[in-house]
């Protein structure tokens, strides 16, 4: 197993994080598509993950409406000390007017409920699952800071934030001496590189950790799907079109993934994850699985060393292009330096690709 520091915390987490959205799902369309693994099935996966050196597990209260946390809590009863445990809060858990969002009222209730379901006295990484457009960010950060001071949370993180939202939150935390976000959990994949325009530069500048969810775009890059209509009927992507991506672009990416995977004798999924792991900005890739075979396949990505030519092929087929003001800032960037100044290499903060 390989490990990376989570932001600036001094804590090292496995570069493959076990995602548990498939644990304990509800008997409905979403649950049946994503997964409804029982405690026994989950225990086999968690056991193999820990044996492989994975020390990082991610869940959320909304997964299975608490079902994932319940199953994980049972599975980790005797192994809690081996795991850096992360969960998330924000989503609506009940019909009441205050049963969602990031008010102090809801977050405090959500934390206590997660602690109970996970059968633990603390959460290692407590993340807000989205940006709350109602609760002032100052209130959210103060609440999270109180959780850390109470000893119920070790570190805090955010998920699905924009670059300006992360920058604003970090600035407020610094100004008021509050706990800072240690990490950002974002959708990042060859099939969707949107975060490279604004969020990834903010992450690099602040030295915040980056956790990537849905690295295979909901299974679209697994190799089970292609432009000819081939698919696996039991796969999640065959039932739920999430996350949304440009499929015409995805098919081109799959073609390149298949060609490269044949050379390395692994699956396209392993190559897609290896591409993410090749980025210095990526801390850990969250792999959600429904069986140990998928877990083993994802773990093979750790042993894949992509050549520069292969990375260029993947970059070319998936590159999102530059957007304003990135392209104008990079247009004459070289003229900022005096003649004879040493070559500093590509400055991706000014619009060039960071991968």
Question: Any idea what the CATH number is for the domain that residue 294 is in?
Answer: 3.20.20.100
Residues 340, 242: one domain?
Answer: no
- For residue 316, being part of any structural domain is answered with no
Per-residue pLDDT, 342: 67
The answer to whether the CB of 147 falls within 8 A of the CB of 153 is: yes
Residues 223, 330: one domain?
Answer: no
Instruction: Return the percentage of the chain with pLDDT > 90, whole number.
Output: 81
Q: How many helices (H) and strands (E) does the chain have?
A: 12, 10
Q: Which domain holds residue 15?
A: 3-309
- For residue 315, being part of any structural domain is answered with no
Residues 61, 178: one domain?
Answer: yes
Residues 217, 348: one domain?
Answer: no
* Burial annotation 54-71 (CB, 10 A radius, 16+ → b, else e): bbbbbbbbbbbbbbbbbb
Which residues in the chain belong to E strands, given as ranges?
3-5, 12-14, 16-19, 56-58, 84-89, 123-128, 153-159, 181-187, 209-213, 284-288
Per-residue pLDDT, 63: 95
Q: Give the C-alpha separation, 141 to 35, whole Å.
A: 33
Q: Give the C-alpha separation, 342 to 168, whole Å.
A: 33
Residues 327, 226: one domain?
Answer: no
- For residue 314, being part of any structural domain is answered with no
Q: In terms of Cα–Cα distance, which of 355, 354, 346, 350 is closest to 326?
A: 350
From the list 12, 63, 105, 331, the catalytic residue is 63
- For residue 317, being part of any structural domain is answered with no
Residues 43, 158: one domain?
Answer: yes
Ramachandran bin of 229, using left for φ above 0, alpha for ψ from -120 to 50, beta for the remaining angles: left
3-state class of 56 per DSSP?
Answer: strand
Residues 294, 343: one domain?
Answer: no
Residues 162, 241: one domain?
Answer: yes
Per-residue pLDDT, 226: 83
Residues 138, 205: one domain?
Answer: yes
Residues 248, 326: one domain?
Answer: no
Residues 344, 218: one domain?
Answer: no
Q: Give the C-alpha separation, 64 to 214, whole Å.
A: 17
Residues 30, 113: one domain?
Answer: yes
Q: In terms of Cα–Cα distance, which of 284, 296, 289, 319 is closest to 17?
A: 284
- For residue 23, being part of any structural domain is answered with yes
12 is a catalytic site residue: no
- For residue 194, being part of any structural domain is answered with yes
- For residue 283, being part of any structural domain is answered with yes
Per-residue pLDDT, 165: 98
- For residue 223, being part of any structural domain is answered with yes
User: What's the domain count of the chain?
Assistant: 2
3-state class of 240 per DSSP?
Answer: coil
> What average pLDDT values come out for the chain (355 residues) when binned by 10 residues?
98 98 82 86 97 98 96 96 98 95 98 98 98 98 98 98 98 98 98 96 97 96 86 79 91 97 97 97 96 96 97 96 86 78 54 46
Per-residue pLDDT, 239: 81
């Amino acid at each position: 197993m390989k490990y990376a520091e989570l932001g600036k915390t001094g804590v090292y987490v496995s570069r493959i994080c076990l995602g548990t959205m498939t644990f304990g799902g509800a008997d409905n369309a979403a649950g049946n598509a994503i997964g409804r693994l029982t405690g026994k099935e989950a225990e086999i996966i968690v056991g193999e993950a820990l044996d492989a050196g994975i020390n990082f597990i991610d869940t959320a209260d909304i997964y299975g409406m608490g079902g994932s946390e319940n199953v994980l809590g049972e599975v980790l009863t005797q192994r809690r000390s081996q795991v850096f445990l992360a969960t998330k809060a924000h989503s609506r858990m009940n019909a009441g007017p205050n049963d969602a969002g990031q008010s102090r009222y809801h977050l405090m209730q959500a934390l206590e409920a997660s602690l109970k379901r996970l059968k633990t006295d603390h959460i290692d990484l407590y993340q807000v699952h989205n940006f709350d457009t109602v609760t002032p960010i100052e209130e959210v950060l103060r609440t999270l800071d109180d959780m850390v001071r109470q000893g119920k949370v070790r570190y805090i993180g955010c998920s699905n934030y924009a670059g300006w939202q992360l920058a604003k939150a970090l600035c407020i935390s610094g100004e008021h001496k509050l706990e800072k976000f240690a990490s950002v959990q974002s959708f990042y994949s060859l099939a969707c590189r949107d975060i490279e325009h604004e969020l990834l530069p903010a992450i690099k500048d602040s030295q915040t950790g980056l956790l990537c969810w849905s690295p295979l775009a909901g299974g679209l890059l697994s190799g089970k799907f292609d432009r000819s209509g081939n698919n696996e009927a039991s796969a999640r992507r065959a039932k739920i079109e999430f996350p949304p991506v440009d499929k015409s672009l995805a098919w081109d990416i799959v073609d390149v993934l298949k060609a490269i995977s044949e050379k390395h004798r692994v699956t396209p999924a392993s190559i897609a994850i290896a591409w993410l792991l090749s980025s210095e900005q990526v801390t850990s890739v969250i792999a959600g699985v429904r069986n140990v075979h998928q877990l083993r396949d994802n773990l093979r990505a750790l042993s894949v060393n992509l050549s520069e030519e292969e990375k260029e092929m993947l970059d070319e087929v998936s590159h999102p292009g530059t957007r304003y003001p990135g392209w104008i800032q990079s247009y004459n960037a070289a003229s900022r330096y005096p003649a004879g100044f040493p070559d500093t290499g590509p400055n991706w903060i000014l619009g060039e690709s960071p991968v």
